[in-house]
Amino acid sequence: MNFRHLTAVFTVLCLCTADGWCSENARVMDELNSPLTPNPLKSAIGEALYNEAIASGEYRYTGNDKCRLCHRDFFIGRKHDQHDHSMDYISSGEFKNNPRCLVCHSTGYGTPSGFVLLEKTPRLSNVQCEGCHGPGSNHIKVASLKKTGGGLLAGEDNPERLKKMCKVCHTSRWNRSYNDFESAYSKYKKAVPK
């Protein structure tokens, strides 16, 4: 391999990177010019139920440290999941306080007791368990009384709501990490308590 070849490879790599950055940048620009992404929980369960649940005071975000008390294996497994690193994409840049981004890169943003700012609520950064299942305080209360669990606004017992939760953020713009929603959804194993 001579110098000319190396130069050709370098050029190709630069072009690809630039193309990727350009397209990523285009998606971000597109997102910034689009209507605000709605609150995922409110969209999934409907406004009436959302208002009733929040008003009751029973549904509060606890952070996944509390989930770990019973679902420890799932907690450890999630450390390899991109959801658990979603804040990394925005935390160092200009968008770290942008509501358009935070709504999908944190847990419970826009909901009372949910994520507010990295400085105020660092424990609710990233998309944690409650990011998809809704506030967990009521689940802890219910599961401590009966082994069957339950008590979540978007639990595994209601897959339709759960799928709606996914689809609020994973729009056609932000679905590059998967091709088929159903097969991606089915990859998530049940969080059997240990």
Partner 1 sequence: MIEFWKRYNITIVLFTLVFSLSGLSFYNYLIQKNLLLEQMRNDAQDTAGSIIAAMNRFHDIKSTMKVQKLVSDISLGLEIFEFRYIEPDGVIRNSMFKEEIGTVYQGKSFQETRTGTIPMGKFFFETRDFVPVMSIYYPIRMDDQLIGIVDLCVDISEYKILLSPAQTDFLLMRRQVDILNLLKSIEGSVHNSVEITSKTDFHNFLKKYVETANNIIQISLVDQQHRIIMSNEGSIIGKRVDRTYVSSTEIFEMNGRPTYRIVMPDINMNGSKKKEQLILLLDAGSYVKNEHRILRTALLTSAMAILFALFIARIIYYSAIESSRKETERLEQLVKERTQAIEFLSKTDALTGLWNRGYLEEMMELEFKRSRRYHKDMAIMVIDLDYFKKINDTYGHLGGDEVLRRVGKSLLSGLRETDFIGRYGGEEIVVILSETRAEKAFELANKICSDIASEPIEFGDAVIWVTVSIGVSALRPEHTTYEEIFSEADDALYASKNNGRNRVGLYSHS
Q: For the chain, what's the residue count? A: 194
Residue of 50, 59, 75, 109 interacting with partner 1 (CB under 8 A): 75
- Within 10 Å of residue 129's Cβ, how many Cβ atoms? 25
How many residues touch partner 1 (CB under 8 A)? Answer: 16
Nearest approach in angstroms of CB 160 to partner 1 is 31
Who contacts 10 (Cβ-Cβ below 8 Å, separation ≥6)?
A: none
Please give the structure tokens belonging to residue 156: 């595994």
Instruction: State yes or no: residue 76 binds partner 1 (CB under 8 A).
Output: yes
Please give the structure tokens belonging to residue 88: 């990394």
Residue 50 or 74 having the CB closest to partner 1: 74
User: Residue 154, SS3?
Assistant: coil
Per-residue binding string, partner 1, 112-151, x by CB under 8 A, is: ------xx--xx-x--------------x-----------
Residue 45 or 124 having the CB closest to partner 1: 124
Instruction: State yes or no: residue 60 binds partner 1 (CB under 8 A).
Output: no
Please give the structure tokens belonging to residue 187: 């990859």
Element (H, E) at 43: helix 40-45
User: Residue 120, SS3?
Assistant: coil
Instruction: State yes or no: residue 72 binds partner 1 (CB under 8 A).
Output: yes
Residue the block writes with tokens 């799932």: 74
Instruction: State yes or no: residue 192 binds partner 1 (CB under 8 A).
Output: no
Nearest one of 79, 56, 57, 76 to 68, comparing CA atoms: 76
Instruction: State yes or no: residue 176 binds partner 1 (CB under 8 A).
Output: no
Residue 148 or 183 having the CB closest to partner 1: 148
Chain residues that interact with partner 1, rule: CB under 8 A:
65-66, 68-69, 72, 75-76, 79, 91, 118-119, 122-123, 125, 140, 194
